[in-house]
Structure 1
Amino acid sequence: MTENTDLHRLLDEAFSGVEMTPDAQDLKEEVRANLVARTSELEASGALPAEAARTAVAELGDVRELLDDGTDAASPRGLAGYAALQQKHRVRPKPAFVVRVVLWSAIAVVGISLGILSAVGVLPIIVWGQVALFGFASTALGLLVGDSLSQETTTNHPMPSGRAGAYALATFLAAYGIGFGALVAFGTMPVWGIVFAALGVITSIVLFAFLGATQTNRHKAWTRRALADEPANRFEREPETAARFGIYTAAIWIVTFCVIAVLVFTVGWWWAPVAFAGGFALMMLVLARMLFAPDRKA
């Protein structure tokens, strides 16, 4: 990708008039790295390089405040006052977003509730009506996740709409897959419905793993500065370990759902939760092993 020269020019202008002490120079280079990542996200979402640079620098705010916050956060007193920094930089949710969240949540609750009541025979709704209800609920859950991720928060910049939409799709597939599995478990849908359940859940796991492995840092500069002394976890120190965990997770769940399908078609669906619990336990063991095993780089 071509270097965004507008970004460096705007950053120099933002620091004009600031005495370039060693601390200020360190902060400038840290901010530069954050802005490069931020402009890359904005350009990936369709913004022109010059527009992306202006947006990223505008989100930065006054660098003098960052210098003040950085000095405070470097001391034990500043770390103890992290909550005060959060309050200072607090971003309030937009009223329209709050309304949408309530709407998506209500649709999800109603869809799931009616779907379950009809699946157990309380409501006389045909099977495809039950599928539609779970579809409405899954769509609402996906919209809830995507809409939430695309919002700016106190500590994070908003996620680009395309990536937020991918998270929404992954949520929809997972929820719809679980809904199909529930209908098979309740006996309102033929056993072959487990195929749709497995496809939905497996695809969502793969998509979640891909999105997690390719996620770039969205923390605002003041947050990164305040948490600079916090020790990094193993996945942050060793990106290759995080990538291996994503691959292992996808493999574990693909095998798990294949086993579930075999059990459903052979000995009965009641064995499916056993296979699911086994897959989850194996994933937790792999996670513990990868996070807490002796550090080979030490």
Structure 2
Amino acid sequence: MTENLHIHRLLDEAFAGVELTPDTQDLKEEVRANLIARAAELEESGVSPEEAARRAVAELGEVRELVGESATATETDAATPRRGWDELMRRHRVKPKPGFVVRAVVWSIAAVVGITLGILGATGVLPIPLGAQIGLFGFASTGLALLVGDSLSQETTMNHPMPQNRAAGYFLATLLGAFGLGFAGLVAFGSMPLWGIVFAALGIIAAIILFSFLLASQTNRHKAWTRQMVASEPPNRFEREPETAARFGIYTAVIWIVTFGVVVALIFTVGWWWTPLAFLAGFALMMLVLARMLFASDKR
């Protein structure tokens, strides 16, 4: 996607009449980069480039207030940083919409009911047929996925709402992963034959790959005031180096593909009770890779 050129014109108009000191110029360039990223997100959701630029600049708010907040935040950080953060949190607080709160409660109840009844059926406590058990775990997975997707598409105090198509991607990744874990649970409890592990592996691997892609390609959704407050914090290496985040996603997918291959081999050789060791080994290896890539020294 090409850079949105409307941003530059609208940003210059917004800063018209503001004295461009070195600090103000630095702020303007930081705002420019964030506006370009925000406009790109809006364009992904189907908004025209010109309208995306207008919306991004409108979300910025009054430039003079922004310049004043930047100076105030700098002074406050030097003396009482926590008090300045709390004050900005109160000023920019976004109350959850009643409809979202109701939906979140409904999705959560669906997930809890589905998981509870599914486990009771898989363990034989309740006489629930296998097909109904699969349906219950599917019901629970859908509830969890809807909760994740709906939450990401809501505006919060610190973040802009995620575009609908990207939130739908997180919905699908959650659905696949949760449903895959449900199949794994049915196999572990002995309610489903061993071939059910194939469906579990497909769902979980697909979820890991999709989550890795979404996280590696995610752009900054932080609001302007949030970016000002966290500017002094050390940046996340995955945000500085998208290529590192992409490599981590690939390594993670390979680790779990190999892990599930080992799980299948263990099931058909020594028995399924050895499979938790394979899962633990895969998780430990993934954490080691994460620590190595996220906290390694910056060679640049």
- Residues 61-100 of structure 1 correspond to what in structure 2 (within 5 A)? 61-75=61-75, 76-77=78-79, 79-80=81-82, 81-100=84-103
> Would you say the 8 A contact 2:6–2:50 is kept in 1?
yes
After TM superposition, give the deviation of residue 86 of structure 1 in Å. Answer: 1.6
> Would you say the 8 A contact 2:259–2:278 is kept in 1?
yes
Name the residue aligned to 1:137.
Answer: 140
**The one of 168, 172, 177 aligned to 1:165:** 168
Distance 1:102 1:294 in 2: 43
Name the residue aligned to 1:48.
Answer: 48
> Would you say the 8 A contact 2:137–2:182 is kept in 1?
yes
Task: Please tell me whether residue 12 in structure 1 is matched to residue 12 in structure 2.
Answer: yes
Task: Please tell me whether residue 235 in structure 1 is matched to residue 234 in structure 2.
Answer: no
| TM-score, L = length of structure 1 | 0.95
Task: Please tell me whether residue 211 in structure 1 is matched to residue 214 in structure 2.
Answer: yes
Task: Please tell me whether residue 24 in structure 1 is matched to residue 27 in structure 2.
Answer: no
**The one of 175, 190, 194 aligned to 2:193:** 190
For residue 157 of structure 1, give the secondary structure of its aligned residue in structure 2: coil
Measured against aligned partners, the alpha-carbon deviations of 1:14-58 in whole angstroms (never above 9, x if no partner) come to 223322222222212111111111111111111111221121112
Residue identity opposite 2:211 in structure 1:
F
Distance 1:176 1:162 in 2: 21
5+ residue gaps, structure 1, are none
After TM superposition, give the deviation of residue 289 of structure 1 in Å. Answer: 2.0
**The one of 136, 146, 150 aligned to 1:147:** 150
For residue 266 of structure 1, give the secondary structure of its aligned residue in structure 2: coil
Aligned residues: 297
After TM superposition, give the deviation of residue 264 of structure 1 in Å. Answer: 1.4
Distance 2:81 2:116 in 1: 45
Distance 1:9 1:294 in 2: 39
Distance 1:111 1:72, change over 3 A: same
> Would you say the 8 A contact 1:69–1:226 is kept in 2?
no
After TM superposition, give the deviation of residue 4 of structure 1 in Å. Answer: 2.7
| TM-score, L = length of structure 2 | 0.94
Distance 2:298 2:219 in 1: 24
Distance 1:78 1:220 in 2: 22
Name the residue aligned to 1:254.
Answer: 257
Distance 2:3 2:124 in 1: 62
> Would you say the 8 A contact 2:4–2:40 is kept in 1?
no
Residue identity opposite 1:55 in structure 2:
R
> Would you say the 8 A contact 1:173–1:204 is kept in 2?
yes
Measured against aligned partners, the alpha-carbon deviations of 1:83-118 in whole angstroms (never above 9, x if no partner) come to 221221111111111111001001000111111111
Report % sequence identity. Answer: 70
After TM superposition, give the deviation of residue 78 of structure 1 in Å. Answer: 6.0
After TM superposition, give the deviation of residue 171 of structure 1 in Å. Answer: 0.4
After TM superposition, give the deviation of residue 7 of structure 1 in Å. Answer: 2.4
Residue identity opposite 1:197 in structure 2:
A
For residue 187 of structure 1, give the secondary structure of its aligned residue in structure 2: coil
Distance 2:79 2:41 in 1: 34
Distance 2:160 2:47 in 1: 15
After TM superposition, give the deviation of residue 191 of structure 1 in Å. Answer: 0.7
Decide which moves more: 94-103 or 16-25. 16-25
Q: CA RMSD in A?
A: 1.5
Which of structures 1 and 2 has the larger relative contact order (alpha carbons within 8 angstroms, sep 6+)? 1
Distance 1:78 1:42, change over 3 A: farther
Residue identity opposite 1:26 in structure 2:
D
For residue 268 of structure 2, give the secondary structure of its aligned residue in structure 1: helix
Name the residue aligned to 1:34.
Answer: 34
Distance 1:257 1:63 in 2: 53
